Amino acid sequence: MARSKCGAVAAAVAALAVLWGAPALAQGVVIKMATLVPDGSAWHGILKEMAEEWKKASGGAVTVRIYAGGVAGDDADIVRKMRLGTLNAGLMSSTGLADIDRSVYALQVPMAFTDYEEFDAVLALMSPAIEQALAAKGFVLLDWADGGWVKFFARSPVTTPDDLKKLKLFAWAGDTEAVEIWKAAGFNPVPLPSTEISTALQTGLINALPTTPQAALLLGWFNQAKNMTDLNWAVLLGAIVVSKATWEKIPEAVRAALLESAHKAGARLREETRRRAGEDIEAMRAHGLNVIHLDAAGLAPWLKAAETAYPRVRGGFVPADAFDRAMALRDEYRHAAATKK
């Protein structure tokens, strides 16, 4: 009888060892995930639910610890710490992704996309190449997310690009090329870590910033920048990313379930952003936000300002081949859409 029990236990241990491998069975896999998403926000809640699903799907062997609200630094810090191994994963914006491979910026070209339909169509076609580029540099993209359309928030009303040129505009620290493009176009960028935006707005170091309504509301930035220029500058693209070294510690059979959970989380993150866009703006309007609406004539100088910068954006801010492919795919989509009408 005792031998029978011992045999059963040995068989169970052997089965687990096949699934997890001896090292993982002994200690499991702890994934430290960081993000700028505020603690307690709906986005944070979705990440926590994904973490619980990963734990359940792995039989408790995968533990995700989430460091929200920028406590681990901004996106550049997250990528740097993932390379060092002190962090293993992150939900980050295109700014962080571009620190790994700048081809992602082809989806961030200002005013290149009119609506989500165009943007989603191009992203779907470019995604495999971007994912391969990230994987070649040691990062696995689990799924895409986005923070909505970037608009301009400022202390004073901004109707034209010339209005914005008079203000001190937040720019992401560390991206010298982007800062130089802003300067060359006549703007006054102030490069800072995103974790310092609130303080910079309060002290007057900056008085304008490009951001999404969701971020402006969640992080309270609109309280110091109560004028929003309602134009679709670019979609704030983001993604759930894990280091390749960490991902490969998890057996392939288990990875499939975790990846499916990440896909579900990414879809929910996108849906949450897009569903709430109008609600977020109305919530800020109730607290004093002034929305500057632009008609076709009002949008024209913004489009001209963006397109004037494209020759420098191409090959500088965005690798030339990625820029060309994104614009070609967008034009193909527009042609097909026009043909259907």
Distance separating alpha carbons of residues 54 and 278, to the nearest angstrom: 32
Tens of pLDDT, residue by residue over 16-34, are 333 444 344 336 999 999 9
Q: Which amino acid is at 252?
A: E
For range 245-259, the mean pLDDT: 95
How far, rounded to the nearest angstrom, does the alpha carbon of residue 110 sit from its chain's CA centroid? Answer: 16
Distance separating alpha carbons of residues 293 and 274, to the nearest angstrom: 19
Distance separating alpha carbons of residues 91 and 157, to the nearest angstrom: 32
Give the Å distances, CA to CA, from 270 to 56, 108, 116: 24, 16, 11
* Rg of the chain (C-alpha set): 22
* DSSP single-letter state for residue 289: P
pTM: 0.87
3-state SS assignment for residue 233: strand
Q: Which residue has the higher pLDDT, 160 or 272?
A: 160
Distance separating alpha carbons of residues 215 and 49, to the nearest angstrom: 21
For range 234-248, the mean pLDDT: 96
Q: Which residue has the higher pLDDT, 270 or 18?
A: 270
In the chain the domains, ranked by start, together with CATH numbers, are: 2-340 (3.40.190.170)
Nearest Cα to Cα of residue 284 among 338, 336, 214: 214
Half-sphere exposure of 38 (CA within 13 A, CB side): 12
Both tokens assigned to 161: 């690009």
Nearest Cα to Cα of residue 252 among 134, 157, 140: 140
For range 85-94, the mean pLDDT: 96
Q: Which amino acid is at 79?
A: V
3-state SS assignment for residue 168: coil
Tens of pLDDT, residue by residue over 319-336, are 999 999 999 999 999 999
What whole-number percentage of the chain has pLDDT above 90? 83
Confidence category of residue 8, pLDDT binned at 50, 70, 90: very low
DSSP bridge pairs for 2: none
| Helices (H), ranges, the chain | 2-20, 22-27, 42-57, 75-84, 94-100, 116-136, 161-165, 176-184, 197-203, 213-218, 244-247, 252-285, 296-313, 320-340
Both tokens assigned to 208: 């304008």
CA triple 307-325-302, angle to 5 deg: 15
For range 181-200, the mean pLDDT: 94
pLDDT (0 to 100) of residue 340: 84
Q: Which residue has the higher pLDDT, 4 or 88?
A: 88
Region class of 146: left (phi > 0), else alpha (psi between -120 and 50), else beta: beta
Report which listed range, 18-27, 161-170, 275-284, is most confident. Answer: 161-170
pLDDT (0 to 100) of residue 57: 95
Nearest Cα to Cα of residue 151 among 206, 212, 208: 212
What whole-number percentage of the chain has pLDDT above 70? 92
Rounded to the nearest integer, the mean pLDDT of the chain is 91
Q: Which residues lie closer than 8 Å to 17 by C-beta, 6 or more apart?
A: 25
